[in-house]
Chain A
Amino acid sequence: MDIGLFGQYLANGVMLGTMYALVAVGFTLFFGVLDVIKFSHGDVLMLGSFTGFTVYIGLLSLGIENPWVMIAAILVVSIITTAALGAIIARYLVLPLKSAPPLNILLITLMLGTAIREAVRLFYPDGSNPKAFPALLPTASVDLGGFALRADSVILVAAGIAVIIGLNLVINRTRLGLAIRAVAQDEETAKIMGINYTMIVLVTFAIGSGAAAFAGIMNGLYYNEVNFGMGLLLGLIGFCAAIIGGLGNIYGAILGGFLFAGLQTIGAVALPFASAYKDVFAFGVVIALMAWKPTGLIAERSSDRV
């Protein structure tokens, strides 16, 4: 294989990995604070990118055409919307079921995801067809030994990595992050120490959902398309990534995201018959990995108490 093609695959893999890592970080945050799996995450992401698309149309009709202003507005509105949605889901669907069997939360969020997906399909104008997301970033490219490195990819990856690093700093360096980690470690002790438990849970869900909206916008800008079904696949991939890395571990989520992207890229390169099988291959490997390491590569340390 020539170096140009290799570079292309590498750039694509890094882009996918950043996106998946952003989604996986959300799953890991939710699991960290509440020990729950919020499966509507992918569909919240999809809603975020649809919100962004709506903002874009709104701005066009207002006559604003500066792409940077547009991107800023799209990001701000969709991140705020999904963050609010994430907090609402946590407040009204997840917290009330906290004492129910853990499976019920998985089920209720799965059903919520379906409801969001179907609502967009049915009620968004022409929602069942893919929408052409605008290419707002500069598309100039630099030729690097046979492959074209596009400016928009570089900007997207850089922004994505910046968000991941920012999240990491928030979790590990701020008072809010300290509170989140305290709640994740021991809910009751955290409460005794005067941490507003409900508030922290809601904020965590808002942060995770906001990160998902960012990933959704990234996805839209990169593929120039949004559709109502994208959330299911991205959510599932993000979740698999979080699990491979070991749920509740933020580095694990990042590692898992890039690993999954790597698997998909290798699947597309190595399977000679068709790159159409890349998802099948990637999920197959995930299932096999789960059989081998049931709680992820960075294993969750736990023991059963009777």
Chain B
Amino acid sequence: MQNKTIPDTRWMGLPHLAVGLIVIAAIALFGWQFLLADSEIAVLGMVALAAMAAFGVGKTGLNKSMSAAMRNHGRSMNIAILLALVCVIFLLGGEHFPLLMLTTTLLYMTVAFGLNAQFGLTGMVNFAGASFFGVGAYTAAVLTNHSALPPILILVAGGVFSALIGCLLIVPVVRTAGHYSAVVTIAFSVMFKTFLEVNDVLGGPQGLMVGPMKTFGWDFNSSPLLMGMELSFYVNYALLGAGLAALAFMFVQRLERSWIGLTLDSVRLDETASACFGLNVVRAKVLAFTFGNILIGIAGALYGMMISFIAPNSFSFSDSLLMVAIVLLGGLGSLWGTALAAVIVVLLPEKLQILQEYRFLLFSVVVILMLLFRPEGLMPRKVRSYFPNWRPEQ
């Protein structure tokens, strides 16, 4: 049945899986070199190359073959992507800065997956992403300094605290609709940063030190040895960040594909109609909001431990907007789009230091243009398939 509905989309006669693996390898190779590139010219050249490649992919039908590979060999492809990521991390080995950038990108990706569950699936915009990220980071700071909790539990605590703080917002967010609930989160975001700045216990504007991650006698801030070679201690964090991003991806994807995701979708599309069909709108919203905040909080806790020093300025309203911009750029509800957008929004300004100062300006203009001319995002979400083996025409 599948073969009938899907036209043959083979690329250069190769099986889909092979094409998929080749593309993954190429992207990994590119990413590795991109992270290592140190002159602005090289970075610009590689960006141009990537743009051309993306254009070429659309022209040669490679994207169709890729999506066929993702569809038919999802498990092998996902494992291959994770393996490629781990390979890149080990290839970067001793380089501190590229690994830091990679991990930051992965953590922002996790945040964006969380926001996607809230915004993309359920339609609740959360303009306090950076605040919940900050809740996680500050939880990690307080717990590493004042308790002997094992860090893996601290990560969990970051998520739990973020969800608890989110509970304070649940009543106004769920009771209000659309605009109004967006404003509740904006008010919270501004309030949270003001609170951090005036609160002496949490370090005020100067911020706090965060202890390192230590698990099962494995000190994350000591450099691991691999086959006699000393690696950067960021390798630990990068691996953990990759694990976290993969886990977040998996959770959100499973959520989307389950009947819960179907409920969330219908709540987004029409609240009143969903309620008429007996769906519990409040429960769906609470679930999506809390789930997203947990992911954001965990990512925040790990971020705090990695950079080992946090200050209120990292959790401002502008940062929250940048996080929403990631979700919008990628395409609402589209996880791969989100991943791509996270790379563009986080990694690109880090690599091009000229852009770093202008990034808020740049990405706000990009999002304005996007909303005007291509509101569905870079990689729009595909239509949900309602029956097993049934796929819409591509």
* A286 contact set on B, CB distance < 8 A: 187
Contact indicator B198/A233 (Cβ below 8 Å): no
- CB nearest to B119 among chain A residues: A103
Could you tell me which residues of chain B, from 166 to 222, have a CB within 8 Å of some CB in chain A?
169, 171-172, 175-180, 182-184, 186-188, 190-191, 194-195, 198
Contact indicator B365/A115 (Cβ below 8 Å): yes
A96: Cβ under 8 A from any B Cβ: yes
- Could you give, for residues 96-115 of chain A, a 1 whenever the CB lies within 8 Å of some chain B CB and a 0 otherwise? 11001011101110111011
A294 to B179 CA separation, bound complex (whole angstroms): 11
Contact indicator B360/A277 (Cβ below 8 Å): no
Contact indicator B187/A108 (Cβ below 8 Å): no
A292 to B191 CA separation, bound complex (whole angstroms): 19
Given known A107-B328, A114-B361, A291-B172, contact A283–B191 (CB-CB < 8 A): yes
- Residue B195 contacts which of A37, A107, A108, A280 (CB distance < 8 angstroms)? A280
B364: Cβ under 8 A from any A Cβ: yes
Contact indicator A112/B364 (Cβ below 8 Å): yes
* B35 contact set on A, CB distance < 8 A: none
A37 to B375 CA separation, bound complex (whole angstroms): 18
A22: Cβ under 8 A from any B Cβ: no
Contact indicator B360/A102 (Cβ below 8 Å): no
A107 to B366 CA separation, bound complex (whole angstroms): 12
Given known A118-B358, A280-B191, A290-B172, contact A106–B177 (CB-CB < 8 A): no
- Residue A110 contacts which of B321, B357, B358 (CB distance < 8 angstroms)? B321
* A274 contact set on B, CB distance < 8 A: 198
Contact indicator A118/B360 (Cβ below 8 Å): yes
- Could you give, for residues 267-281 of chain B, a 1 whenever the CB lies within 8 Å of some chain A CB and a 0 otherwise? 000111100100000
Given known A276-B198, A295-B180, contact A233–B169 (CB-CB < 8 A): no
A290 to B175 CA separation, bound complex (whole angstroms): 8
A291 to B184 CA separation, bound complex (whole angstroms): 9
Label chain B's interface by main secondary structure. Answer: helix
Contact indicator A103/B182 (Cβ below 8 Å): yes
Could you tell me which residues of chain A, from 119 to 155, have a CB within 8 Å of some CB in chain B?
119, 122
A248 to B191 CA separation, bound complex (whole angstroms): 25
A29: Cβ under 8 A from any B Cβ: no
- Residue A280 contacts which of B127, B169, B194, B364 (CB distance < 8 angstroms)? B194
Count: A-B pairs, CB below 8 Å: 116
Contact indicator B180/A280 (Cβ below 8 Å): no
* Chain B residues bordering chain A, tally (CB within 8 A): 45
Question: Which stretch (A9-17, A216-224, A235-243) binds chain B?
Answer: A235-243
- CB nearest to A92 among chain B residues: B372
- Residue B368 contacts which of A112, A283, A306 (CB distance < 8 angstroms)? A112
A304 to B270 CA separation, bound complex (whole angstroms): 11
A240 to B46 CA separation, bound complex (whole angstroms): 46
A93: Cβ under 8 A from any B Cβ: yes
Contact indicator B184/A287 (Cβ below 8 Å): yes
A306 to B360 CA separation, bound complex (whole angstroms): 39
* B328 contact set on A, CB distance < 8 A: 107
Of B127, B328, B364, most A-chain CB atoms within 10 Å: B364
A284 to B364 CA separation, bound complex (whole angstroms): 28
* A225 contact set on B, CB distance < 8 A: none
Contact indicator B169/A115 (Cβ below 8 Å): no
A279: Cβ under 8 A from any B Cβ: yes
Given known A100-B375, A104-B375, A274-B198, contact A111–B368 (CB-CB < 8 A): yes
27 example contacts (A-B, Cβ-Cβ < 8 A) are as follows A97-B371, A102-B178, A103-B179, A108-B367, A108-B368, A108-B372, A110-B127, A111-B364, A115-B361, A115-B368, A233-B190, A239-B183, A240-B187, A276-B198, A279-B190, A280-B195, A283-B194, A287-B169, A287-B172, A287-B187, A287-B191, A290-B176, A291-B171, A291-B172, A294-B172, A294-B175, A304-B272
State the A residues within 8 Å of B (CB). Answer: 37, 93, 96-97, 100, 102-104, 106-108, 110-112, 114-115, 118-119, 122, 232-233, 236, 239-240, 243, 274, 276-277, 279-280, 283-284, 286-288, 290-291, 294-295, 304, 306
- Nearest 9 A-B pairs (CB), nearest first? A118-B361, A276-B198, A291-B172, A283-B191, A111-B364, A114-B364, A294-B176, A291-B171, A115-B364
Given contacts A114-B360, A295-B176, A304-B271, 18 further A-B contacts (CB under 8 A): A103-B123, A106-B179, A108-B367, A110-B127, A111-B325, A111-B367, A111-B368, A112-B364, A118-B360, A240-B183, A276-B198, A277-B198, A279-B191, A283-B187, A287-B169, A287-B184, A290-B183, A306-B272
